[in-house]
Structure 1
């Protein structure tokens, strides 16, 4: 039996989205636009291909991305996640739907407007780095500024700032083939940041790296996000990466959204068996927060005990809870959501060890 319950939520600040995606479709094949709204749109995979000659890569997807958020899109190969991110930047043209950037539909942008969006407001970090092999590190980082027409002294100064920011100081004059994979990806990060974009898009940028370098690069993204505060949309097939990086996670399957939620919501309240199987082996105490195990106070509970924030991860609260002589008050802002004591903490740990999650 699960020891978890759906948590009481504190008041959350609602921010106007940077991106608002509404009813987005991408269908590849002849007369793709004619399928939407007809019975054929409900067909899947081979049946849709046999009947229409088309493949539906993204199916009626809607979501918002908030300012300063790391929004992760996760799914297995073929789930539609990479097609989705390419639709957001119109590297692939959507078949239907809206992509609202601060309320303006970028699907209506002409070629010139789209070019300016990509030069000034969007940057993308790719899986295979995309560095120019004949250019040194500093010139690779400055490339977007050069395309934008900025003067050489200004773009080199900005590029040097970004090289320093991503930890490559002293390697400015090296060529890409003189760098490790992790260092090459740092160059890609620096190049993306150099143009000071409003939104950074990451298309499985670390999947080609070995596990240790991948972990370092994940930590680098977390550090850079903390320092520069950019809105980020991050594509991955790796659950641990999604849980580590994401403020919210969108899980895709067969081109559709299965679930959107914070990491603790995806782990603690999976939407269906598909997500449940994904998160089966995740240690709950490493992801879930105190709000998930807080219980209402009883008349016998002393309410003058220590206070912990509702978003403290259970694993990080173990010592404080087990060391207290009275229940911990779990608080979100000024609101007390409930209390947590040793029984609640130990129940989660016992369930993990028993393999119940």
Structure 2
């Protein structure tokens, strides 16, 4: 289900918008249009769908149009041409066509924003800052306090509720901003480089906290970043922008393995593939593995065989004629201390974690899908091959 839809969106800053759009249609560049009209093309031809519960990262250098596109979702940046819609009360609503009252309703109930510089009111306590949107909505104090305290507990700031912003660290202030956005219970969160002002260690921790919160609350998040590592860490989908246009949109793996333009290739060339590639990108798929008499062969000589059930789920293993053991990894953790012959892991496992697991066994890692069915195998050849392809 689509939560945010951009349909051929153009955004122009300046007085000569019509002339700028006409030149844009003629294929003129942003710099040429600026020189001829004095107008700035903030965004051009933006087509993007953000699914409900997805984190989509708008990525690019400063001036590429990331924040401009983000702010069109809640009407802060007017659209010169095209449409932006959000799912509001169960149905898509064109933000570009809303009157002032409807737009205010969307901002209060459906779309919330987390700012780079926190945007906290210094004369208010943490609890009062978090409850500000609910107060504007007219919610009674007792109900407002209940919701605020719940959200402060969610971000780990319950004990700081009566402090003021200047008494908190930068990371804690950013968490107050997150709690304020969560308090409105908006389905859509707009996050404009929210962690860029933080120290690297705090920033990494905040990214982890955001991902953990997202696993629990499943909001739709449109996130702006100029940091590729951050984008690849948190984004289900990444839209890379250049000069107001989206030049490539896809998963981190799509972009790393198949950059669409030289600009994107330059962007990703220093990215560590161990932190981006996952099992399905490096494995030999199940349809290509060797089988014999209902078993999957895990070595060249057929001495290590894995049994699967009728649904192609791993159920047992034979190693050199004896009954072996299967060890199963849950989630994306690399820790695995239980002795076993064969390790079974989720197909979404990161390559770095896969390599750590492979060091614990002489046999391929068995990847399974969400239903536990065999997805593929990953041994030394697959690991080396993926790294060599990336470095070629």
- Alignment TM-score, normalising by the size of structure 1: 0.88
Higher relative contact order (CA closer than 8 Å, sequence separation 6+): 1
Write out per-residue CA displacement over residues 99-119 of structure 1, whole angstroms, 9 at most, x where no aligned residue: 122333121111000000001
- The residue that corresponds to 1:311 in the other structure is 348
- The residue that corresponds to 1:129 in the other structure is 118
- The residue that corresponds to 2:40 in the other structure is 55
Asked if the contact 2:363/2:379 (under 8 Å) is kept, the reply is yes
Q: 1:259 to 1:350 in 2, by over 3 A?
A: closer
Distance 2:190 2:24 in 1: 34
Distance 2:63 2:159 in 1: 40
Distance 2:359 2:125 in 1: 55
- Aligned to 1:87, the other structure's residue is in SS state coil
Write out per-residue CA displacement over residues 155-200 of structure 1, whole angstroms, 9 at most, x where no aligned residue: 1221111111111121111111111111111111111111100101
- The residue that corresponds to 1:96 in the other structure is 81
After TM superposition, give the deviation of residue 78 of structure 1 in Å.
0.5
Asked if the contact 2:3/2:50 (under 8 Å) is kept, the reply is yes
Asked if the contact 1:268/1:284 (under 8 Å) is kept, the reply is no
Identify the range of structure 1 (318-327 vs 117-126) with the bigger mean alpha-carbon deviation: 318-327
Distance 2:137 2:152 in 1: 19
- Aligned to 2:214, the other structure's residue is in SS state helix
Determine whether 1:71 maps to 2:56.
yes
- The residue that corresponds to 1:256 in the other structure is 245
Unaligned runs of 5+ in 2: 299-304, 307-341
- The residue that corresponds to 2:131 in the other structure is 142
- The residue that corresponds to 1:302 in the other structure is 297
Distance 2:2 2:59 in 1: 20
Distance 2:194 2:119 in 1: 11
Distance 1:157 1:39 in 2: 51
Determine whether 1:342 maps to 2:327.
no
Asked if the contact 2:19/2:37 (under 8 Å) is kept, the reply is no
After TM superposition, give the deviation of residue 264 of structure 1 in Å.
1.5
Write out per-residue CA displacement over residues 36-68 of structure 1, whole angstroms, 9 at most, x where no aligned residue: 355665222331112222111100001111111
Write out per-residue CA displacement over residues 2-53 of structure 1, whole angstroms, 9 at most, x where no aligned residue: xxxxxxxxxxxxxx21111110110112231454355665222331112222
- The residue that corresponds to 1:196 in the other structure is 185
Asked if the contact 2:354/2:365 (under 8 Å) is kept, the reply is no
Determine whether 1:166 maps to 2:203.
no
Asked if the contact 2:73/2:86 (under 8 Å) is kept, the reply is no
Aligned length: 339
Asked if the contact 1:24/1:58 (under 8 Å) is kept, the reply is yes
Distance 2:211 2:46 in 1: 27
Asked if the contact 2:6/2:84 (under 8 Å) is kept, the reply is yes
Distance 1:186 1:232 in 2: 16
- Aligned to 1:42, the other structure's residue is in SS state coil
Asked if the contact 2:276/2:351 (under 8 Å) is kept, the reply is yes
Determine whether 1:119 maps to 2:108.
yes
- Alignment TM-score, normalising by the size of structure 2: 0.81
Distance 1:84 1:340 in 2: 40
Write out per-residue CA displacement over residues 224-256 of structure 1, whole angstroms, 9 at most, x where no aligned residue: 112211111110001111111111111101010
- Aligned to 1:18, the other structure's residue is in SS state strand
- Aligned to 2:9, the other structure's residue is in SS state strand
After TM superposition, give the deviation of residue 333 of structure 1 in Å.
4.8
- Aligned to 1:222, the other structure's residue is in SS state helix
Determine whether 1:29 maps to 2:25.
no
Determine whether 1:155 maps to 2:140.
no
Distance 1:299 1:219 in 2: 41
After TM superposition, give the deviation of residue 331 of structure 1 in Å.
4.0
If each structure's strand is expressed as a fraction of its own residues, which one has the higher value?
A: 2
